[in-house]
Structures are given as structure tokens and as C-alpha cells.
Chains A and B, each alone.
Chain A
């Protein structure tokens, strides 16, 4: 087990290297650069632009820029943000914390909704099954930013007393902070809950036709014990996988949701950084997001072994 984790962690390094190259090249392939972006619509002389570029090292060939960035990163220095001139590391972590909190709340909501609706549709059948499947199809068809927009419209027009855009920092007002994240988390959670719900439903249906469920009934176990120890325990494995991967994707930050609700998380940071061509910030965000996805994969594998004794990594 420990060996497996060590090997998997080691394997993430070449993947991260590849990700950083792709991000680096793609950003520089975009038209415009920081100098032009910061100039905006005002006309600045070509010499002034060149000075900015020279100061930031943007006049060097891309491969030399990359090696410089890689060398600094490997020694633990993510560089200075072009826009704020402050270390990227100190800029990114408060934002990561906000997104992590948002993801946690959204994950709890999605897990609760998904597992409940999945179980309902698998166990009750009939009307419940059709209602859940219809609801899931609807949520799957509607992108989360549309849901977010509808939530904003609904509360903005009819319940203006409920503040939508008043994000407050956790340190200032913990309960207000959580309350301000509920609606954005809901708009993220609804889409994620579909995946969890459908996977729960499929897994429970598959497990319930297994012989050991019949044996459990023949043992005279009560329906609740069968549901808990036989159906859910066995259906959990595929659900753990999809949930883990969905949460990993959310941890990278949702640009649209965070922008709509003006939450200072990873998504909004990425959006602003791309708009201003703040290369060090973008590189750091991509690197952190990729690391999270990779770590989440390892965690999912560990979770497998915890819920299912047949899985061992020897």
C-alpha cells in the first residue's frame, strides 16, 4: 500500500512537467502579452512596451523563459505576479482556500442529493424512478452557469433581501461566509449530483441482483441492515470514484460560477490572470490544479482499498 502510494506520487512528477510545458506554450501562443494587456486601449510607445518586456524577461526565446521558470519553481519559487508584483504563492493560497471551501460545501450537497436520489430511484422504482431520472436529465442538459444565472435572477428579482453577491471572508464572519457560499455551491452541486445519482442508481441495481443479497434475505436480516451492509457498502466503490474525480475538477476552480457570484477563488483568479496575461500566476494556478487532480486520483485509489478488502496494492 505505502509502496503503491510512493510509486503513484513519483509518477505525478513527469505528468506535472508535461502539464507545465503545455500551459506555458499555450499561454504564449495567445495573441498579446502582459505589456499590451496592461496598456489597455491607451497608446503606449513601442519603446515603453519593450522596456516592460525586457524587465519581465519576455524578450527571451520561449524555451529560455521556460527553463528560467522551471528552475525557479523547482527551488520553490513560483515567481512574482506581473500585475501585483507580489509572490504568486502568497496570492494563490487564500484563493485556493476559498475554492476548497466552496468545493467542500458543493461536494457535501451533491453527495447528499446524489446518493439520496440514486437510492430512491433504484429502490422504489415506479414514479420515484421516473421523477429522479427526469430531474437528472434536466440538470444534465442545463449547464451550471445557466443554473447560476437563474439563481441570481430569481433571488435578485424576487428575494432581494437574500444577498447574492456579498461574499465575506471566513476570518471576518464564519457563518456569514458559509451562508454566502450556499447558493454558488448549490449551482455547482446540482450538476455533480447527477453523476453521483446515476452512478449510485446503476450500482445499487447491479448489486441488488447479486446472490449475496438473496442470501442476506434468506438469513432473515432486516431490510435496513441489508440496505446498509449489503447494498450500499458494495455499491459505494464506483460512486467513490466518480465523486472523487468530480471534486478534483471543482477544486481547480469554476471560472463561470466564481465570476457570476463574485467569489475570490481560483476560478476568478485564473480568469483575471488570463485577461491580464499574468504568466507566472497562470502557470502556478495550472500547476496547483493539476496537482490536486493527480493527488485526488491517488486518494480515490486509497479509498477503494478502504471500502473493498479485495483491492490490495501489493
Chain B
């Protein structure tokens, strides 16, 4: 949309990620570069294990507990290299400037805290609101993401919500500090198809209302359509094709992109006839 005209919000240069497990290094992201402009929405598509989630987590410097990951290259956010920030400065950026929505809403909320408390703690951390003001804001946020009766639901615990409702809560948490960039890593994969559409519409609406940039990661081209302006197709830790979403749908150049597109079931061709589809 505004590519080239504005200073990029996020500029990733030659990013690599190497896991060290049991001594043997394995490189899962291999020198990728891309930009995200302010307010832009960009999709990352590829099969499981192609490195798209690791890329997303690398931006926030999040590694799974107990694993050690080595990141190379540069991740420039507003011109500042995130990979060179000290731990405290990185913690300040997480949630406040760059927020993330994860794949599995069933396990992403703390089961012993009320959902309101899980929005409060983030607001108090980043905005310095008082506890009471934070709760008022949390209720507004729950209302914003479409939770009915938010004032009383804020005191409920995660197990009292369905999967789709929990993902709404997690989205409310993610947008609570009005981040400049929202990373959504497979936000609908764990949900029913009907709920998927609602969550995608919600993300689309919030992006417009809050003016966030969106980095949407998925294995499903069906999710990308209508959500993003540009798409990066990833395979084996590298970006193999980049393009405007319509152009890519109409004329994929890379054979892997074509295979991914063929894997999307279509009504007119009789549905699930693909055998070459990615997982």
C-alpha cells in the first residue's frame, strides 16, 4: 500500500535463527529480509516447520522455555536493532510496541487468574494506570473485542470461556496498549471454521480502528485472502516468493506457492482433491 513512501516500522535484514538442542545446531530461519510499513498488513504463508513462527517469535526475542536459540542479522524496529537491546529494554517493547496473538487460545491464558486481571497486569505494567483505572480500561477492551456483559465477565476465569471467546480475550490483551505492530501467529488454526471467520473479521476491524500494522502468519491461503496487502511465502527457512495478495493468487510464480494454492479446497472443483497439500 504505502511501501517505499514511508520509513518502514519494521525492517528485518538477513535474519537467521539457529536452535541448539543436544549439541547439534539446526538452522530454521536462513537469512530472510522484509519490511513492514506503519499500518500495513503483511501475510506469511508456509507449511508447518518452514520457520514462519520462529521468525515471528524472533522479532519479540521469545524462545520456548528450555531451548536455546541463536539469532543473527538485524531486526530494526523504528530504526532500533532489537537484537542489540538489553533484556530490560526488550521487555519494555514487548506488549507496548509489538504485541502478539498465539495459536492456541485454550492454553494461552493463565488458568488461575481472572481474564480481567490478565489485561490489568499488562496495562499497569506499560501504562502506569492505577488498578481501578486499568480494570475500567480492561472492561472497555473486552467490549471492543465483542465479549457480552464485559463488566461481569472480567471477573470470570478462562475455563468459563469457549475457545473463540478466549481468543477474543487474548486479542484484547494484545491490543490493550495500542501496539504499533500486532503479530498474529496462526490465530485461527485451533478454532472452528465459523469462529475463524469472526476472529479474522475482528482482527481486520481492530487493525483499521487502531491503525496497527499486522503480521499475519498462517499455513492457510484461505485465511490470507482479504486480510493482508502483501504476502511472503516461506519454505524451509527462506522467503521464496513475495507479492501483492491478488497478483499472487492470480499468477503464482514459484512452484511451492502454486502447490500451496492448490491445497486450498475449492467448492467449484469438488473440494478436497489435493494430495500435494502442505500440512
Interface residues of A (CB under 8 A from B): 208-223, 225, 229-230, 233-234, 307-310
Contacts and interface: CB of A to CB of B under 8 A. Distances in A.
Q: Is the interface of A mostly helix, strand, loop or mixed?
A: helix
16 contacts: A208-B65, A213-B65, A218-B60, A218-B94, A218-B95, A219-B95, A219-B122, A219-B173, A220-B92, A220-B96, A220-B125, A221-B122, A233-B113, A308-B111, A309-B111, A309-B157
Interface string B178-202: 0000000000000000000000000
B121 interface: yes
A214 B110 contact: no
Interface string B97-126: 001101010011111111000000110011
A307 B112 contact: yes
A219 B108 contact: no
B16 to A, nearest CB: 21
A136 B113 CA distance: 32
B255 interface: no
Contacts of A220: 91-96, 122, 125-126
Contacts of A213: 65
Contacts of A208: 65-66
A153 B173 CA distance: 59
Contact of A214 (B64, B91, B99, B121): B64
Given A219-B94, A219-B95, A212 B66 contact: no
Given A209-B65, A211-B104, A217 B111 contact: no
Contact of B112 (A215, A216, A233): A233
B173 A214 contact: no
B21 to A, nearest CB: 14
A233 to B, nearest CB: 5
Contact of B111 (A215, A221, A225, A234): A234
B62 A214 contact: yes
A118 to B, nearest CB: 16
B127 to A, nearest CB: 11
B62 A222 contact: no
Contacts of A212: 107-111
Given A209-B66, A307-B112, 6 more contacts: A214-B65, A215-B100, A219-B94, A220-B91, A221-B122, A229-B110
**Which has the most chain A C-beta neighbours within 10 Å: B92, B95, B157, B173?**
B95
A311 B206 CA distance: 35
A307 B157 CA distance: 12
Residue among A209, A219, A221, A310 having the largest count of chain B Cβ atoms under 10 Å: A219
A4 to B, nearest CB: 18
Given A210-B107, A229-B113, A234-B111, A218 B100 contact: yes
Contacts of A230: 110
Contacts of B60: 217-218
B159 A310 contact: yes
Contacts of B121: 219, 221, 225, 229
A198 B107 CA distance: 25
A147 to B, nearest CB: 34
Contacts of B173: 215, 219
A214 B104 CA distance: 12
Nearest to A310: B159
A209 B60 CA distance: 17
Interface in B49-98: 60, 62, 64-66, 91-96
B153 to A, nearest CB: 14
Contacts of B94: 217-220
B105 to A, nearest CB: 9
Contacts of B66: 208-209
B170 interface: yes
A229 B66 CA distance: 20
A197 B110 CA distance: 23
